[in-house]
């Protein structure tokens, strides 16, 4: 079995080692005997959104986001229909912002987004930087098996403050750090199989249960009866729980 994972704009949106998310997804496929097929595409390169299983967009500085906006706009219709047909998307920080209506930078200039997510972003005077712990919402975990880990752990560094419109569900409530905007106590968004978050880290090596959720959704989109084989995540879970306890000052 193969699983196609596309890293869009790997040369422009790759802050804080976000490519580590591709490495984590690839490893967790290989450990299960699934062959990961990694595609990479940037400015001017064609893509078949309907032929891929997972699309990944990393984070980037305001400058890089401005460089890719026109290229991203020309992909809107195909990406929108792929998302409406269940394409799994993980979009981190700048990539997350670009799927929304717009990102208004501190200069006041607006970078237009794809308006696929009913979210909008306005840069604040203070950058939101530091570790983040999120208590995952049922709308994310919603898989039958209740994973032992019910938190997400990551690192944020953004000036953008993102607000969710009607119908958009957050990934969960922030128990440490700022999240979407440092005001409403929420972090990230889920819309269909699109997951947006401010959490770098990279995110997925720190959150094996979330990596597996993305893989399971992608495989079930092809065959609803697919179930992922369990992996021995004792070390990953111990690292995750240790850091969460340290940040939340729990024994």
Residues annotated as catalytic are 93, 200
CB of 171 to ligand GLN, least distance (A): 16
When the beta carbons of 36 and 177 are compared against ligand GLN, the nearer one is 177
When the beta carbons of 113 and 205 are compared against ligand GLN, the nearer one is 113
The residue number whose beta carbon is nearest to ligand GLN equals 59
Distance in angstroms (rounded) separating the CA atoms of residues 206 and 147: 14
Contact residues for ligand GLN, defined by CB under 6 A: 15, 59-62, 65, 93-94, 157-160
Residues with Cβ within 8 Å of residue 25, at least 6 apart in sequence:
5, 36, 54, 56, 204, 211, 214, 215
CB of 15 to ligand GLN, least distance (A): 5
CB of 127 to ligand GLN, least distance (A): 7
Cβ proximity of 67 and 12 under 8 Å: yes
> Reduced to 3 states, what is the DSSP secondary structure of residue 8?
strand
Show the tokens assigned to 95.
């990539």
CB of 109 to ligand GLN, least distance (A): 12
Count Cβ atoms below 10 Å from residue 47 Cβ, excluding itself.
17
User: Which residue has tokens 């209740």?
Assistant: 146
């Amino acid at each position: 079995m193969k699983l196609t994972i596309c890293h869009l704009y790997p040369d422009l949106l790759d802050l804080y080692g976000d490519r580590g998310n591709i490495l984590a997804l690839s490893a967790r496929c290989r450990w299960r005997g699934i062959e990961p097929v990694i595609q990479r595409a940037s400015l001017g390169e064609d893509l078949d959104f309907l032929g891929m299983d997972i699309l990944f967009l990393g984070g980037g500085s305001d400058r890089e986001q401005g460089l890719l906006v026109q290229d991203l706009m020309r992909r809107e219709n195909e990406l929108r229909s792929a998302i409406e047909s269940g394409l799994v998307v993980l979009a981190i920080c700048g990539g997350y912002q670009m799927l929304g209506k717009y990102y208004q930078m501190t200069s006041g200039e607006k970078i237009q987004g794809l308006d696929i997510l009913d979210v909008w972003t306005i840069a604040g005077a203070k950058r939101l930087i530091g570790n983040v712990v999120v208590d995952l919402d049922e709308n994310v975990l919603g898989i039958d098996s209740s994973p032992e880990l019910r938190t997400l752990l990551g690192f944020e560094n953004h000036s953008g403050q993102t607000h969710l419109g009607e119908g958009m569900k957050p990934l969960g409530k922030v128990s440490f750090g700022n999240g979407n905007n440092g005001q409403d106590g929420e972090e990230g968004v889920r819309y269909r199989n699109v997951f947006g978050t401010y959490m770098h880290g990279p995110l997925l090596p720190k959150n094996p249960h979330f990596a597996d959720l993305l893989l399971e959704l992608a495989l079930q989109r092809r065959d609803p009866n697919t179930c992922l084989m369990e992996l021995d995540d004792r070390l990953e879970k111990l690292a995750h729980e240790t850091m969460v306890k340290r940040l939340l000052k729990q024994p």
